[in-house]
Amino acid sequence: IYLDGKENPYQCSLSQDCKLGSALIIPLRAGNEVVGTIKLYEPKLKLFSTINMSMGEGIAQLLSSQILFSNYQQQQTLLTQAEIKLLHAQVNPHFLFNALNTISAVTRRDPDKARELIQHLSHFFRSNLKQNINTVKLKDELAHVNAYLTIEKARFTDRLEVEWDIDPQLYESQLPSFTLQPLVENAIKHGISNMLEGGKVKISSEGFEGGFKLNVEDNAGNYQKPSQDHVGLGMEIVDKRLTNFFGQDSALKIESQPQQFTRMSFIIPILK
């Protein structure tokens, strides 16, 4: 709204002697909603210059863009937290049930082992509570996975072997939290659990141009591409969070040879 005092009269409501002669009011918008205004004034007998009018419009556009971007960031943060909680909800109930059954079975024959498993279970859920943050160091993610695998190894006994091959120089690298564990859990749930013996999960890293690749591989080779009406969201959420954080080149890739292996991998670029 531009009130120039002549063609569009501006009348001050405070006093007849008020020196204000013209006003420019520009809305600040967040999408279609007006959330504030920019107001510029000039004294009587002085009209707004074209420069000042353009400046006011430019400031309003800039602030509107910042408000909209801030709202977008807030929504993205809420979405990320919701996705992490959804991943937690998918893994925790059946894993907790299995873990408690395993610890119960171990308690009588090996109390020390049972105590160790309880400590790992505690570490696993403590890590879950901490992982509402968006990113973690690779070493913390690996510790979280190790706590999970220690309990699963006790459950599967000699049916599960775990091999680690991670370059220690990568431990301080950042990645989206709760990324590796769903891949490992998927390898065991849909791969190793269907084998009568000789199950193996390998977690490894390898150099890659501009970064490195993380692999989670099982020797079951039972992967089947999900149908359009499937309800599992774990892999889709992991893939989405990787691409949102690192870019499309870090999308989750799945390779499989029936009865031989299933390998899930993604690239972590070295961020300068």
Give the strand order in the sheet containing 261-269: 160-165, 199-208, 211-218, 261-269, 253-257
For the chain, domain boundaries: 2-69, 83-269
**Residues above pLDDT 90, as percent of the chain:** 19
Q: Picking from 115-119, 167-171, 214-218, 263-267, which range would have the lowest pLDDT averaged per residue?
A: 115-119
Is the pLDDT assigned to residue 20 strictly greater than 90?
no
Is the pLDDT assigned to residue 270 strictly greater than 70?
yes
Is the pLDDT assigned to residue 117 strictly greater than 60?
yes
Is the pLDDT assigned to residue 132 strictly greater than 70?
no
Average pLDDT, the chain: 80
- Tokens standing for residue 16: 């007849």
Q: State residue 85's pLDDT score.
A: 58
Q: State residue 237's pLDDT score.
A: 79
Q: In CATH, which superfamily holds the domain spanning 83-269?
A: Histidine kinase-like ATPase, C-terminal domain (3.30.565.10)
Q: What is the mean pLDDT of residues 14-27?
A: 81
Q: State residue 40's pLDDT score.
A: 85
Q: Picking from 98-112, 187-201, 207-221, 241-255, which range would have the lowest pLDDT averaged per residue?
A: 98-112
Q: State residue 168's pLDDT score.
A: 92
**Is 264 buried (19+), middle (13-18) or exposed (0-12) by CB count in 10 A?**
buried
What one-letter code names the amino acid at 25?
Answer: I
Q: State residue 194's pLDDT score.
A: 86
Q: Picking from 119-128, 152-161, 205-214, 215-224, which range would have the lowest pLDDT averaged per residue?
A: 119-128
Query: Is the pTM here over 0.75, yes or no?
Result: no
d(CA 168, CA 265): 18
